[in-house]
A = this chain, B = another copy of it.
Amino acid sequence: MPVARVVVDVMLKPEILDPQGQAVQRALPRLGYQGIADVRQGKRFELEVEGPVDEAALARIHELAETFLANTVIEDFVVKVEESVAAGESK
């Protein structure tokens, strides 16, 4: 049974204030890192999906992300298929 890794990236919408990202960004010059204009912090979910990731499976994962992984009032999300690994093959 092939297993595929599907990634769901969840980030705050651009217009939403990102205090965590700003805290990181404000600390950078003090740590000697210049030239980084902005930092945004979000969540990354890696889902190991059994079986082929066809249109139907992707639609289900999209629905799962929309209802469960992201708060779509303040967050955007992106679903990406990263790799397919036949079970038993080394990663």
Contact = CB atoms under 8 A, between A and B. Distances in A.
Q: For the side of the interface on A, what is the size category? A: 20 to 34
B36 A40 contact: no
Nearest to A68: B31
Given A35-B57, A64-B33, A42 B44 contact: yes
Interface in A1-57: 3, 9-11, 21, 24, 27-28, 31, 33, 35-51, 57
Contacts of A44: 9-11, 41-44
A38 B49 CA distance: 7
A49 B36 contact: yes
B43 A42 contact: yes
